[in-house]
Chains A and B, each alone.
Chain A
Amino acid sequence: GAVVSQHPSWVICKSGTSVKIECRSLDFQATTMFWYRQFPKQSLMLMATSNEGSKATYEQGVEKDKFLINHASLTLSTLTVTSAHPEDSSFYICSATGGGTEAFFGQGTRLTVV
């Protein structure tokens, strides 16, 4: 299947700093990318949907000014957690689709804010 690479796989940052997570589709053009968040021992919750070249659509309750999403090209989307706080510590996973029947997931990024 298609490959989606997410980087970094884990990151520790200080409270108040910003962290950028990259999601790349390596062998296909991803017209749509999704960002999910997974709390410990819970399911994945969709945060936002991004289409190449347009603004992301955020799910209800997700702060767009805190979780900045950019989808500037057909192979790259970024999620920036601004002014991170300990409650933002979580596992973030992206997925990408080129329009087939399935979305392909990255490896995930474990963010720890101290």
Chain B
Amino acid sequence: GDSVTQMEGPVTLSEEAFLTINCTYTATGYPSLFWYVQYPGEGLQLLLKATKADDKGSNKGFEATYRKETTSFHLEKGSVQVSDSAVYFCALGGGYQKVTFGTGTKLQVIP
């Protein structure tokens, strides 16, 4: 079945550091790929998405590119802020299909 593997956290960075959270997936066909963010005590918010190979999703300075050849969808941000501290989930699926989530990566940004 479909699965998502993402790097374990927690990840601790200083403010303005570069962020990469790795994500790889296994799926039949060509699913849509997502990054969701969950702030403490809250639900999920869609951060960005990509629906086909070579698409780049971007939002709030975060980017991820759908790489079919490496089955990856790594999340990057050039300069993180304290307000980016949250748990980030890589996921695939969507539409009428269930969403399959990775285990989540907790990011802590310190001033």
Question: B-facing mask of A33-70, CB < 8 A → 1, else 0?
Answer: 01000000011101001000000000000000000000
Do A102 and B49 form a contact, CB below 8 Å, given A6-B43, A97-B95? Answer: yes
Chain B CB within 8 A of A107 CB? yes
B99 contacts the other chain (Cβ, under 8 Å)? Answer: yes
Contact of B32 among A32, A93, A101 (CB under 8 A): A101
Q: Which of B20-28, B73-81, B100-108 contacts A (4 or more CB under 8 A)?
A: B100-108
| A51 to chain B: closest residue by CB | B96
With an 8 A cutoff between CB atoms, is B34 at the interface?
yes
Q: Is the CB of B98 within 8 A of A43?
A: no
Of A49, A99, A102, which is within 8 A of B98 by CB? A49
Q: CB distance A32 to B101 under 8 Å?
A: no
| Contacting residues of chain B (82-108) with chain A, CB-CB under 8 angstroms | 89, 93-96, 98-104
Known contacts A97-B94, A101-B32; decide if A43 and B103 are in contact (CB<8 Å): yes
Measured in the bound complex, the distance between the Cα atoms of B102 and A104 in whole Å is 17
> Bound complex: CA of A93 vs CA of B89, how far in Å?
14
Q: Per DSSP, are chain B's interface residues mostly helix, strand or loop, or mixed?
A: strand
A78 beta carbon closer than 8 Å to chain B: no
In the assembled complex, B110 has its CB within 8 A of some CB on chain A: no
Q: Is the CB of A42 within 8 A of B103?
A: yes
How many Å from the CB of B5 to the closest CB on chain A? 11
Q: In whole angstroms, what is the CA distance A42 to B9 when docked?
A: 12
Known pairs A43-B102, A43-B103, A103-B94 / 17 extra A-B pairs, C-beta < 8 Å: A6-B43, A31-B96, A32-B96, A34-B99, A43-B101, A43-B104, A44-B44, A44-B101, A46-B99, A93-B44, A99-B95, A101-B49, A102-B49, A103-B95, A105-B43, A105-B46, A107-B43
**Contact sample, A vs B, 7 pairs, CB 8 Å cutoff:** A32-B96, A44-B89, A46-B100, A95-B99, A103-B95, A105-B44, A105-B46
